[in-house]
Amino acid sequence: MVAVAAFSFMSIFITNKLMQGTGNYAPINGLNLYYEVYGTGMPLVLVHGGGSTINTSFANIIPLLANHRQVIALETQSHGRTFDIDREFTFEQDADDMAELLNHLQIARADFMGFSNGGTVCLQMAIRHPQMVNKLIPASACYSRAGMPAGFWEGMQHATLDNMPQPLKDPYLQVNPNPEGLLAMFNRDKNRMLTFKDISDEDLKTITAPTLVINAYNDIILPEHALALARMLPNAQLAILPGGHGDYIGEICTPTPQSKLPAITAGLIDEFLKD
C-alpha cells in the first residue's frame, strides 16, 4: 500500500465536462512540448502531478478556472503527449521548459499553479524565473524529504509499474499508446523522487510573489509541511482542505468523484487571483 500511495503522489473519473481547449505543440529546449489553452484573460499556467496528464490532474477544475482567466495547461517531459528525450529530468528543468514556453507564447508574466510534483516545479519556477511569476499556487507540493509520511521513501524504493494506479496508466495510453513510454515515464518519476534533494530555506525565502499554499488534511504531503512552507515564504497564505491527495481538485484517483470540493477550491483560487 505504501508503494501505491508513493506513486500516487507523483501523479474521479475523467468527466466530459472539460471545456473545449486548443491543443498545441511548441519546440521547447529539444522537446515537442504539448499544451492546451482555455478561456481568456490573465494567464494561469497549470502543471500536473507526476505520472499524470492534463486531464488526470485538472479535468474537473479547468472549466471552473477558465471562466475568469486564460488557462494554459502543459504536459511536461515524458508525460502524456510530450515524449521523452535523452536529457536531464529534474524539477529545475521542467521549470526552465515552462519559462521557455511562456517566451514562445510571448507571455511576459503569469500566475502559476502546480499539483503534487507540479507544485515543486512551480516553486522552482518562482526561484529560477521570478520576473515571470505574478502569483503562485503550490498545491500538495513537496520541498523537503521530511514532508512525506513515514514509509514513503522506503515504499518508493520498491515501487514498480504494477504499483502505478490504473486510473493514471489508462489515460496515458489513451493519448500516447506506447507501453514503453509509460514505463519510461514511471522510471523517470521514480528516480527523480528517489534523488530529490530539499529546496533550501534560502532559496524558498527568495520567493516574494504572493503565494497560496494548498494542501489536504489527509494528503501524502503532511499538512505540517504545508504550514512550514507557508510560514517560510515571505508573502504566503495557507488553505488546508478536507480529503486526500488531489481530492480538492477532483484529481482522477479521488474516491469521491462527485465531490463539491473542486468548486470550493476554484472559489478560493479565484478569490486569491482576482486582485
CATH of the domain at 188: 3.40.50.1820
The predicted pLDDT at position 22 comes to: 83
Q: What is the DSSP letter of 149?
A: P
Chunked mean pLDDT (size 10), the chain, 275 residues: 44 41 93 97 98 98 96 98 97 98 98 98 98 98 96 96 97 96 98 97 98 98 98 98 98 94 98 91
Chain centroid, CA 107 distance in Å:
20
- Range 26-47 burial, b when 16+ CB lie within 10 A, else e: bebeebebbbbbbbeebbbbbb
- Range 222-242 burial, b when 16+ CB lie within 10 A, else e: bbebbebbbeebeebebbebe
Helix (H) or strand (E) holding 96, with range, is helix 91-104
Three-state SS string over 173-185 comes to HHHCCCHHHHHHH
Contact 112, 47 (CB under 8 A): yes
Q: What share of the chain is helix, strand, coil (3-state, %, to 5)?
A: 40, 20, 40
Report pTM. Answer: 0.93
Domain that holds residue 88: 2-273
Contact 257, 13 (CB under 8 A): yes
What's the CA gap between 64 and 67, in Å, rounded?
6
Contact 18, 67 (CB under 8 A): no
What's the CA gap between 86 and 135, in Å, rounded?
32
What's the CA gap between 12 and 17, in Å, rounded?
12
What's the CA gap between 91 and 189, in Å, rounded?
10
| Gyration radius from the chain CA atoms | 17
Number of structural domains, the chain?
Answer: 1
